[in-house]
Amino acid sequence: MIKPIFITATLLASSLAFSAQNYVVDPQLTDYRGNQGKSDVWISHEDSDGGLGDVGSSGDTAFDAQGSSRIRFKEKVAINDFTAKPGLSQVITGLPANTDMTFSLYYCDKKGPASPSTLYYGVREAVEGASLTGKVIAENRVHTRDLDAAPKGEKKACFRQVNVDFNSGAGAVEIFSLMEVYVGDADKPDMTKDIEVRIDEFSVTAK
């Protein structure tokens, strides 16, 4: 008699997750955190002393492995240039050519619906030695107020998943995730505290 094999939904989901190759290196920012925000693969776009924003590591995490990136404009900096877009990017090579793919990450903004911050993220063509200069392949902007129904992180529920689809082209791209600050008619937003967000759990997979 052949016994039926039952696969639980959890096991099936786990198997599917492992079957999709993630092309991002250090996707949970664990090594980035362990090296205090220094990385051979993650490129930081910042200049805190120059008022262009600060990018560093954080112990907050969306899932199991400790580590995320904190992007912020510091309250105590004399002059902040809110036209700057601080954040992280990574050049990814070896993608299957001309393949439809998805770039996703988890985003946390504790300031809630009134936050002046927006996440600008997407995919560019990779240009050697010139980060964030390649042609934009896909991009999106999202505010935390629009993410109530998005998948949550397990460790901290403020982390919500965002994604964008793209085609891999020749197989080399640069993913990016940057913070934009809306100033409006004022010279600057409320700076009684740092303006900060966190990003974690990056993924680039074939659809």
Contacts by residues 130-135 (CB-CB < 8 Å, ≥ 24 positions apart): 131/43, 131/45, 131/89, 131/91, 131/174, 132/45, 132/89, 132/174, 132/176, 134/174
- Please report which confidence band the pLDDT of residue 203 belongs to, taking 50, 70 and 90 as the band edges: very high
Q: Would you say the C-alpha torsion 192, 177, 159, 149 has a positive or negative sign?
A: positive
Task: Domains for the chain: give ranges and CATH numbers.
Answer: 21-206 (2.60.120.260)
- Please report which confidence band the pLDDT of residue 123 belongs to, taking 50, 70 and 90 as the band edges: very high
Rounded mean pLDDT, 161-175: 98
Lowest mean pLDDT among 109-123, 130-144, 145-159, 189-203: 189-203
Q: pTM of the full predicted structure?
A: 0.88
Higher per-residue confidence, 12 vs 88: 88
Neighbour-count burial of 47, counting CB atoms closer than 10 A to its CB (0-12 exposed, 13-18 middle, 19+ buried): middle
- Please report which confidence band the pLDDT of residue 192 belongs to, taking 50, 70 and 90 as the band edges: low
pLDDT of 7 reads 44
Q: Residues 27-75: pLDDT tens digits?
A: 999 999 999 999 999 999 999 999 999 999 999 999 987 899 999 999 8
